[in-house]
Structure 1
Amino acid sequence: MTIPIIIDCDPGHDDAIAILLALAHPEQLQIKGITTVGGNQTLEKITNNALKILSFVDTDIPVAKGAKGPLLGTLVTGEEAHGESGMDGPVLPPSRFRPIETGAVEFIREILLASDEPVTLVPIGPLTNIATLIRAYPELKSRIAGISLMGGGIAYGNVTRTAEFNIYVDPEAAQIVFESGIPITMSGLDVTDKAAIFDDEIEALKTRGPVSVLVGELLDFYSIFGKKMGYHGNALHDPCAIAWLLQPQLFQSKMLDVTVETQGIYTRGMTVGDLRTKTDRQPNVNVLMDVDRDAFIRLLFDALAILDARYVQQASQGES
């Protein structure tokens, strides 16, 4: 059974890898569109990055530009981790594709209305576009099968001691999404930090085909920041939200009541999970807590092998 999805993203090294992972499995995931949101870098830069990735693998999927910044305040970017372009490292040629004229929220609305079945949203950046959609068109919630998001962390944060980047950038938007009543699966730091790729595996990628080499070069740059922060291995955050749709059996999870802190001096952007055994609120989020790392890495390598073969085939067809 093929799941129709919309990827909402801010590429971003791990966003790019998540897109590639989804593209390798058209028999399981039908990407109806990609929307972009200011996050890891400014909207223009990350939209350009999404288009470059699609152009590299010669896949024309509609890309719609979304919010430039959060619902409140100004945009905080992830330049320290992702560089000046938002996807520093490999030098990719300019994209042959351009974003569509329709904005992200209206584009998502059109897809939801036109689809014969509910669509799964996969937001792997700040939740501004998704919150805006829910607030503008609450009647469309029934057309959303679920949300598989990357963001948050029950145990700790990475921008502050309590807040993960995607939620920290727009906690008001995250609060709207988490309180929407839509089924949510959360790939937070509790699981994504365990979905790490190590240096020898990154080197192995660079001995394979063109798409694998690209991912290896992306990870060369992306791992610099992780090592500065003391991590052993490079966490593949955003691909977890796609991997859960492809192979949910790789993950262990808990249903928790999760709220988003928007006011705290030290806790703004924190995803507060209720870990008590008895509570007066119903759990609203399927929180991924652990992953079979080796199987996760095999899933990634297998996906890149598919894309490598497709790349070579497309190149040979272009020469003939």
Structure 2
Amino acid sequence: MKNIILDVDTGVDDALAILFAVRHPGLRLRAVSCVAGNTHVDAVVRNTLTVLEAAGADDVPVARGAERPLLAEPHDATHVHGQDGLADLDLPTPIRQPVDIHAVELMRREILASPDPVTLVPLAPMTNIALLLRAYPEVAGNLERIVFMGGSAAVGNATAVAEFNVWHDPEAAAIVLGSGVPMTMYGLDVFYEVALGSEDIDKLILHTDSGANLAGRLLRHRAMASGGDTRIPIPGGGSIGDAGAVCAVADPAGLTTRTLPVEVCLVGEQTRGQTVVDHRTSTHDTPPPGRGTARRIDVALGVDRERYQRLFLDTVSGVTV
């Protein structure tokens, strides 16, 4: 069983990722840390607790983390996720409260206490993760890998070249990517590929289990909000988004990756937040100044769409996987 910690800005697709993580029998969700991104950090905490309660996972500790990026001004994505961050479904207020320590302290505690190395799964701007690695570098010794949803080897969504999570706090992303921890980038190149069609969404909505029902309602929102988006491979479908990164932890063979140098651009109005992925292999290309300093990480460039569709649907529905 893999020990994992999620770092989230819950968010519709973060919620789908949480539901998958608590239901998959091969994953042990040790903790969830919250950070500002899709919405304000206090709403992120509320949403995270709400989703865990719907999934029957009241024992997973949740902590409040950074409420703004390291340097940049914060920007939310409520135009995508709804004013409450969870599709404005008017979900009940959670009963329990977050733990009374900062998210960075919670992650440090759980990583160092784990008998086996932990996989850290950031699905949000990486402010908390950068603070963790800077304040407590010893945690890297018990990290198996960081699998993060963010970045792109091609086009962006926050800008023409930058993906939202990295663009929101590029300084934090640069710190994390430069940390030397083994890393997989689950970026926009595969993010939209794994989607469920209307028939599967309807099955989830009609499910008697509260977690599966919530997943269906969230996916219905994504399908409606993404109407006409040509990046979604199923017409009228809803992408599982961030949940795909957790699928990649549970079943890494579903990804096609290449180990490539990746740097985060920190300057330029048009380029700030871009993950610059160096695909070049020829020794005859002229290296730019500083080439060779970028960390090499595993970059997801392809995904077995049907494999992860079935994995997500079966896991959230409670089918043995």
Match of 1:239 among 243, 249, 252: 243
**Alignment match, 1:32:** 30
Structure 1 segments, 4+ long, off by >4 Å, are 228-231
| 1:1-320 to 2 correspondences below 5 Å | 2-25=1-24, 27-60=25-58, 61-210=60-209, 211-227=211-227, 229-232=229-232, 233-278=237-282, 281=292, 284-306=296-318
SS in 1 for 2:270: coil
Q: C-alpha distance in 1, partners of 2:275/2:231?
A: 22
When normalised by structure 1's length, the TM-score is 0.91
| Residue 143 of structure 1, CA deviation | 1.9
Instruction: Report the Cα offset of residue 200 of structure 1.
Output: 3.4
Cα pair 2:5 2:32 within 8 Å, conserved: yes
Note if contact 1:89-1:221 (Cα within 8 Å) is conserved in structure 2: no
Corresponding letter in the other structure for 2:30: K
1:271 CA drift (Å): 0.7
Provide the C-alpha distance between the structure 2 equivalents of 1:228 and 1:98, rounded to a whole number of angstroms.
39
Task: Check conservation: 2:61, 2:99, Cα contact below 8 A.
Answer: yes
Q: CA deviation at 1:257?
A: 0.6
Contact 1:189 1:237 in 2 (8 A): no
Q: Distance in 1 between matches of 2:208 and 2:147?
A: 29
1:178, distance to aligned residue in structure 2 (A): 0.5
Instruction: Please state how far the C-alpha of 1:283 moved relative to its aligned partner.
Output: 5.6
Q: Check whether the contact 2:263–2:295 (CA below 8 A) recurs between aligned residues.
A: no
Distance in structure 1 (CA, Å) of the matches to 2:200 and 2:70: 39
Amino acid at match of 1:37: V
SS at match of 2:226: helix
| SS in structure 1 at match of 2:47 | helix
Structure 1 unmatched ranges of 5 or more: 310-320
Contact 2:167–2:272 (8 Å) recurs in 1: yes
Deviations 1:231-284 (A, max 9, x none): 444332211111011111111111111110110221111111000014763762
Kindly state the Cα deviation for residue 175 of structure 1 after the two structures are TM-superposed.
0.4
- The answer to which of 279-288 and 78-87 deviates more is 279-288
Q: Which residue identity lines up with residue 238 of structure 2 in the other structure?
A: N
Provide, for residues 74-115 of structure 1, a one-character-per-residue CA deviation record: whole Å limited to 9, x for no partner.
Answer: 211111100110112433212122101110111111112222
Which residues of structure 2 form unaligned runs of 5+? 284-290
Q: 1:234 to 1:158 in 2, by over 3 A?
A: farther
Quick one: distance in 1 between partners of 2:54 and 2:201? 20
Maintained 8 Å contact 2:11/2:85:
yes
Post-superposition Cα deviations, 1:169-207, rounded to whole Å, max 9, x if no partner, equal: 100000000010001111101011211223333233223
